Amino acid sequence: MDLRQLNTFLQVAELGSLSKASDRLRIAQPALSRQIRLLEEELKLPLFDRHGRGMALTPAGELLRARAGNILRQLEETRADLSQEALAVRGRVVFGMPPTVGDILATRLIERFLAQYPEVTLRAVPAFSGYLLDWLHSGEVDIAVVYGTEAQASLRLTPLLVENLCFVTRPGGAPAPDHAIPFAEAAREKLVLPGPQHGLRRLIEREARAHGIALRIAVEADALQVLKGLVRRGVGATILPLAPVHDEVAAGLLGAAPIVEPHLSRKLVVAQPLGRQPSNAVRHFEQALRQEVAAMVREGIWDGQLLGDPIPA
């Protein structure tokens, strides 16, 4: 089994067709077919079911696809780490963030990081924390920001931030930003919140039950932009961190106030897989991530308390 065979296999698996893979790789179709055949002979298993519409992966092929991408990425990272410049920052970083974090942090972070390390290729993966944890386990994601989770044997979790939640309304619907609103008072308003599977929704409902507070949920919407749009139209209010609505609040398009009695907050951590040495690129990316979050807290964009050792800007 060689790297060329693995790459060919992944291309055919993705496209489901030798002819399409041949066009993409600019390699003659018979040569690609021979590589796949040699790989199957070596493994003594069929990797594809051939049919008139193309090629579909067998169960063995699905397993190899799940592993092959990780193998190739680790080799790419190893090449970068073993290059003549021992401290070179090259390769690929796949990072994940929940939507409420990615929408505010990813653009700034990518711009900052690539200005310093232009030889790194970045891939941003927005998803709920549960999915990100699964992808960290499988090796599909190198590093992720997730909402506080219990310690896991196969992941390294390091504290990042405790972010405060606020009551978000259309302009004039909330107290002034320096005047907090009791949770019970906020809950009397019609609310637009994410669905029950969302970590933010579970946190809000858990605090409501603990304090005997009934919620008036008018609409469920998982997309952040939909939540903000519904609030701007006066359909209801919502509960979010300040960061994803900071620009709208500053422009007078939304109002926001801290929540008290109880104070609502949630913890963010940086998660990486254990047992896999992070590349230089991943290590520098984590540093840039912490610097960017710290900058957003200093600028008043992100209302929260930094955790862990401070990293100089």
DSSP codes joined into one string, 240-298 = EESGGGHHHHHTTSSEEEEEETTTPEEEEEEEEETTSPPPHHHHHHHHHHHHHHHHHHH
Architecture (CATH level 2) of domain 91-161+267-306: 3-Layer(aba) Sandwich (3.40)
Bridge partner list, 267: 162
Provide CB contacts within 8 A for 263, sequence distance 6+.
164
28-35 long-range contacts (CB < 8 A, ≥24 apart) are 32/8, 35/4, 35/5, 35/8, 35/9
Quote the pLDDT of residue 218: 93
Quote the pLDDT of residue 177: 54
Per-residue pLDDT of the chain (313 residues; tens, 9 = 90+): 677 788 888 888 888 888 888 887 778 889 989 989 999 999 998 999 988 778 899 999 988 888 887 777 777 667 666 654 556 788 899 999 988 788 788 999 999 999 999 999 999 998 888 888 888 877 889 999 998 766 665 788 899 999 999 999 998 765 655 578 999 999 999 999 988 888 889 899 999 999 999 999 999 998 888 999 999 999 999 999 988 898 899 899 999 999 999 989 989 999 998 767 788 899 999 999 999 999 999 998 898 899 875 444 4
Please check whether residue 70 is in contact with residue 269, taking contact to mean a CB–CB distance below 8 angstroms.
Answer: no
State both tokens at 203.
Answer: 């946190």
- Phi first, then psi: what are they for 38, rounded to 5°? -65, -40
SS3 168: strand
Q: What is the pTM of this model?
A: 0.67
**How many other C-beta atoms can be found within 10 angstroms of the C-beta atom of residue 172?**
7
N-to-C CA span, the chain? 45
Please check whether residue 304 is in contact with residue 265, taking contact to mean a CB–CB distance below 8 angstroms.
Answer: yes
Fold adopted by 3-81: Arc Repressor Mutant, subunit A (1.10.10)
Domain positions in the chain: 3-81, 91-161+267-306, 164-264
Name residue 181's amino acid. I
Quote the pLDDT of residue 294: 93
Domain 91-161+267-306 identical in fold to domain 164-264:
yes
Quote the pLDDT of residue 174: 59
CATH number of the structural domain 164-264: 3.40.190.290
Quote the pLDDT of residue 88: 73
Q: Give me the helices (H) in the chain, please.
A: 3-15, 18-25, 29-43, 59-81, 99-116, 129-138, 183-187, 199-210, 224-232, 246-250, 280-298
How deeply is 214 buried, as exposed, middle or buried, from its count of CB atoms within 10 A (0-12, 13-18, 19+)? Answer: exposed
